[in-house]
Chain A
Amino acid sequence: MKVSLEWLRELVDIDRSVAELAETLTRGGIEVEDVENLNKGFEKVVIGEIVSLTKHPDADRLWVCVVNVGQEVVTIVTGAQNLLVGDRIPVALVGSTLPNELSIRKSKLRGVVSQGMLCSREELLLDATVGLDRSAEGILVLPHEAPIGENFGKYLGREDSVLDLELYPNRPDCLAMVNVAREVASLTGKKPHLSKWTEQNQVLSLPTASDLRIIIENEELCWRYAGLVVEDVRIAPSPEWMQRRLKAAGVRPINNIVDITNYCMLEMGQPLHAFDRDKISGDVHVRAAFPGEKVVTLDGIERTLQIDTLLIADDCQPLAVAGVMGGLDSEITKDTKRLMIESAHFSGVSVRRTSRRLGLRSEASNRFEKGIDVYGIVATLGRVCDLLLELGAGRPVALVDVVKNLPAQRQVSLSVEHTSTVLGAELEMAEIRQVLEDLNFKYQEQDGQFEVGIPSYRSDITIEEDLMEEVARLIGYDRIPTTLPQGDLTQGSRTPEQEFRRRLRRAFAQSGMDEVITYTFTRAEADAQWGSAKHSIPLLNPLREELGVMRTSLVPGLLDVAARNVTRRTMNVSIFEIGNTYWGEEQPLQKLPREELRVAGVAVGKNGRHWQNQLVNYDFYYLKGILDRVALEFGLKLEYRPAENQVLLHPGRSADVYLQNQCVGFLGEMHPSLEKTWGLERVVVFELEFAALLARMRQTVRAHSIPRFPGIQRDLAVVVAKDTPAEAVLSKMRKLGGELLQQVEIFDVYRGNPIPDDRKSLAFALRYQSLERTLTDEEVNLLNSRILEGIQQEFGAEWRK
Chain B
Amino acid sequence: MAELAKLGWYRESRLSSLSGDGRLFLWYQSASISFGWVPMDYERVVYLKSEIQRIGEETLRELKELDRQDALQELKVKVLGKKGSLTALLRQMGGLSPEERPMMGQVVNDMRSCLEKAWEERGVELDILALQKRLTTERIDITLPGTCVSRGHHHPLTQVIEEIEDIFLGMGFQIAEGPEIETDYYNFEALNLPKEHPAREMQDSFYITEEILLRTQTSPVQIRTMERLYPALPVKIIAPGKVYRNDDDATHSPMFHQVEGLVVDRGIRMSDLKGILLNFSRQMFGESREIRLRPSFFPFTEPSAEVDVSCMLCGGAGCRLCKGSGWIEILGSGMVHPRVLEMGGYNPQDVTGFAFGMGVERIAMLKFGIEDMRLLFDNDLRFLQQF
Q: Which residues of A contact B (CB under 8 A)?
A: 26-29, 31, 168-172, 348-349, 352, 369-371, 421-425, 463, 465-466, 468-469, 472-473, 477-478, 480-495, 498, 502, 505-506, 508-521, 537-543, 547, 550, 561, 564-565, 568, 570, 573-576, 580, 582, 588-589, 592-593, 595, 607-608, 610-613
In the complex, the answer to whether B272 meets A424 with C-beta atoms within 8 Å is: yes
In the complex, the answer to whether A570 meets B270 with C-beta atoms within 8 Å is: no
| B268 at interface by CB-CB < 8 Å | yes
Give CA–CA (A421, B268) in the complex, Å: 8
In the complex, the answer to whether B379 meets A505 with C-beta atoms within 8 Å is: no
| A465-B246 CB under 8 A given contacts A483-B274, A516-B384 | no
Question: Which B residues from 331 to 387 make CB contacts under 8 A with A?
Answer: 335, 337-338, 352, 376-382, 384-385
The closest CB in chain A to the CB of B247 belongs to A543
Question: What distance in Å separates the Cβ of B261 from its nearest Cβ neighbour in chain A?
Answer: 12
In the complex, the answer to whether B162 meets A612 with C-beta atoms within 8 Å is: no
B114-134 near A? 1/0 per residue, CB < 8 Å: 000000000000000000000
Contact residues of B: prevailing secondary structure: mixed
B148-168 near A? 1/0 per residue, CB < 8 Å: 101111110110001001001
Which of A493, A543, A576 has the most chain B CB atoms inside 10 A of its CB?
A: A543
Give CA–CA (A611, B209) in the complex, Å: 57
Chain B residues contacting A568 (CB-CB under 8 Å) are 380, 382
Partner of A595, one of B179, B295, B337: B179
| B219 at interface by CB-CB < 8 Å | no
| A573-B381 CB under 8 A given contacts A468-B302, A512-B151 | yes
In the complex, the answer to whether A487 meets B234 with C-beta atoms within 8 Å is: yes
Question: What distance in Å separates the Cβ of B360 from its nearest Cβ neighbour in chain A?
Answer: 10
| A483-B152 CB under 8 A given contacts A29-B295, A568-B380 | no
Chain A residues contacting B196 (CB-CB under 8 Å) are 348-349, 352
Partner of B181, one of A348, A543, A593: A593
In the complex, the answer to whether A421 meets B269 with C-beta atoms within 8 Å is: yes
Question: Which B residues from 48 to 104 make CB contacts under 8 A with A?
Answer: none
Question: What distance in Å separates the Cβ of A465 from its nearest Cβ neighbour in chain B?
Answer: 4
| A169-B181 CB under 8 A given contacts A424-B270, A424-B272, A514-B381 | no
List 8 additional contacts besides A423-B303, A493-B169; criterion CB under 8 Å: A424-B271, A469-B302, A484-B275, A515-B154, A515-B155, A539-B214, A543-B248, A570-B380
The closest CB in chain A to the CB of B173 belongs to A492
Query: Which of the 9-residue segments B9-17, B197-205, B311-319 touches chain A?
Result: B197-205
In the complex, the answer to whether A509 meets B202 with C-beta atoms within 8 Å is: no
In the complex, the answer to whether B180 meets A487 with C-beta atoms within 8 Å is: no
Question: What distance in Å separates the Cβ of B202 from its nearest Cβ neighbour in chain A?
Answer: 7
In the complex, the answer to whether A595 meets B147 with C-beta atoms within 8 Å is: no
In the complex, the answer to whether B265 meets A481 with C-beta atoms within 8 Å is: no
In the complex, the answer to whether B181 meets A511 with C-beta atoms within 8 Å is: no
The closest CB in chain A to the CB of B290 belongs to A482
In the complex, the answer to whether A469 meets B303 with C-beta atoms within 8 Å is: yes
- Provide 6 A-B residue pairs closer than 8 Å at the C-beta atoms, listed in order of the A residue: A486-B272, A491-B172, A492-B172, A493-B174, A510-B151, A613-B147
| A171-B297 CB under 8 A given contacts A425-B271, A519-B255, A520-B242 | yes
Give CA–CA (A171, B206) in the complex, Å: 26
Chain B residues contacting A505 (CB-CB under 8 Å) are 154, 158
Question: What distance in Å separates the Cβ of B122 from its nearest Cβ neighbour in chain A?
Answer: 39
The closest CB in chain A to the CB of B307 belongs to A477
Give CA–CA (A211, B165) in the complex, Å: 71
Chain B residues contacting A29 (CB-CB under 8 Å) are 294-297
In the complex, the answer to whether B294 meets A27 with C-beta atoms within 8 Å is: yes
Partner of B380, one of A537, A538, A565: A565
In the complex, the answer to whether A170 meets B380 with C-beta atoms within 8 Å is: no
Give CA–CA (A34, B241) in the complex, Å: 32
Partner of A469, one of B175, B202, B207, B295: B295
Partner of A485, one of B181, B183, B234: B234
In the complex, the answer to whether B381 meets A543 with C-beta atoms within 8 Å is: no
Partner of A542, one of B151, B201, B206, B270: B206
Give CA–CA (A538, B181) in the complex, Å: 12
| B46 at interface by CB-CB < 8 Å | no
Question: What distance in Å separates the Cβ of A559 from its nearest Cβ neighbour in chain B?
Answer: 12
In the complex, the answer to whether A492 meets B170 with C-beta atoms within 8 Å is: yes
In the complex, the answer to whether A512 meets B267 with C-beta atoms within 8 Å is: no
The closest CB in chain B to the CB of A494 belongs to B175
Partner of A169, one of B201, B248, B267, B381: B201
| A539-B208 CB under 8 A given contacts A468-B303, A514-B384 | yes
In the complex, the answer to whether A509 meets B209 with C-beta atoms within 8 Å is: no
Question: What distance in Å separates the Cβ of A262 from its nearest Cβ neighbour in chain B?
Answer: 22
Question: What distance in Å separates the Cβ of A397 from its nearest Cβ neighbour in chain B?
Answer: 37
Chain A residues contacting B153 (CB-CB under 8 Å) are 509, 514-515
Chain B residues contacting A31 (CB-CB under 8 Å) are 294
In the complex, the answer to whether A515 meets B158 with C-beta atoms within 8 Å is: yes
In the complex, the answer to whether A514 meets B267 with C-beta atoms within 8 Å is: no
In the complex, the answer to whether B208 meets A481 with C-beta atoms within 8 Å is: no
Question: What distance in Å separates the Cβ of A471 from its nearest Cβ neighbour in chain B?
Answer: 9
Give CA–CA (A26, B278) in the complex, Å: 21
Give CA–CA (A170, B296) in the complex, Å: 9
In the complex, the answer to whether B302 meets A465 with C-beta atoms within 8 Å is: yes
Chain A residues contacting B276 (CB-CB under 8 Å) are 484-485
Chain A residues contacting B292 (CB-CB under 8 Å) are 477-478
Give CA–CA (A568, B378) in the complex, Å: 12
Partner of A592, one of B144, B182, B202, B379: B182
| B212 at interface by CB-CB < 8 Å | yes
In the complex, the answer to whether B198 meets A512 with C-beta atoms within 8 Å is: no
Chain A residues contacting B384 (CB-CB under 8 Å) are 514-516
Question: What distance in Å separates the Cβ of B336 from its nearest Cβ neighbour in chain A?
Answer: 10
| A589-B208 CB under 8 A given contacts A481-B274, A484-B272 | yes
Question: What distance in Å separates the Cβ of B322 from its nearest Cβ neighbour in chain A?
Answer: 14
Give CA–CA (A543, B246) in the complex, Å: 6
The closest CB in chain A to the CB of B337 belongs to A465
Q: Which 9 A-B pairs have the closest CB atoms?
A: A424-B271, A29-B295, A424-B269, A469-B303, A168-B297, A492-B169, A512-B150, A509-B152, A490-B172
In the complex, the answer to whether B234 meets A490 with C-beta atoms within 8 Å is: yes
The closest CB in chain A to the CB of B167 belongs to A492
Give CA–CA (A281, B172) in the complex, Å: 72
Question: What distance in Å separates the Cβ of A475 from its nearest Cβ neighbour in chain B?
Answer: 11
Chain A residues contacting B148 (CB-CB under 8 Å) are 607-608, 610, 612-613
Question: What distance in Å separates the Cβ of B303 from its nearest Cβ neighbour in chain A?
Answer: 3
In the complex, the answer to whether A480 meets B295 with C-beta atoms within 8 Å is: no
Give CA–CA (A53, B62) in the complex, Å: 115
Give CA–CA (A29, B269) in the complex, Å: 20
| B258 at interface by CB-CB < 8 Å | no
| B7 at interface by CB-CB < 8 Å | no
Give CA–CA (A508, B158) in the complex, Å: 14
In the complex, the answer to whether B271 meets A480 with C-beta atoms within 8 Å is: yes
Question: Which B residues from 188 to 235 make CB contacts under 8 A with A?
Answer: 196-199, 201-202, 206-209, 212, 214, 233-234
Chain B residues contacting A512 (CB-CB under 8 Å) are 150-152
In the complex, the answer to whether B234 meets A488 with C-beta atoms within 8 Å is: yes
In the complex, the answer to whether B246 meets A570 with C-beta atoms within 8 Å is: no
Question: Which B residues from 266 to 294 make CB contacts under 8 A with A?
Answer: 266-272, 274-276, 278-279, 292-294
Partner of A421, one of B255, B267, B304: B267
Which of B246, B266, B294 has the most chain A CB atoms inside 10 A of its CB?
A: B294
| B263 at interface by CB-CB < 8 Å | yes
Give CA–CA (A424, B305) in the complex, Å: 15
In the complex, the answer to whether B270 meets A423 with C-beta atoms within 8 Å is: yes
Question: What distance in Å separates the Cβ of B50 from its nearest Cβ neighbour in chain A?
Answer: 56
In the complex, the answer to whether A486 meets B147 with C-beta atoms within 8 Å is: no
| B36 at interface by CB-CB < 8 Å | no
In the complex, the answer to whether B152 meets A514 with C-beta atoms within 8 Å is: yes
Which of A348, A517, A550, A593 has the most chain B CB atoms inside 10 A of its CB?
A: A517
Chain A residues contacting B8 (CB-CB under 8 Å) are none
Chain B residues contacting A486 (CB-CB under 8 Å) are 267, 272
Question: What distance in Å separates the Cβ of B310 from its nearest Cβ neighbour in chain A?
Answer: 13
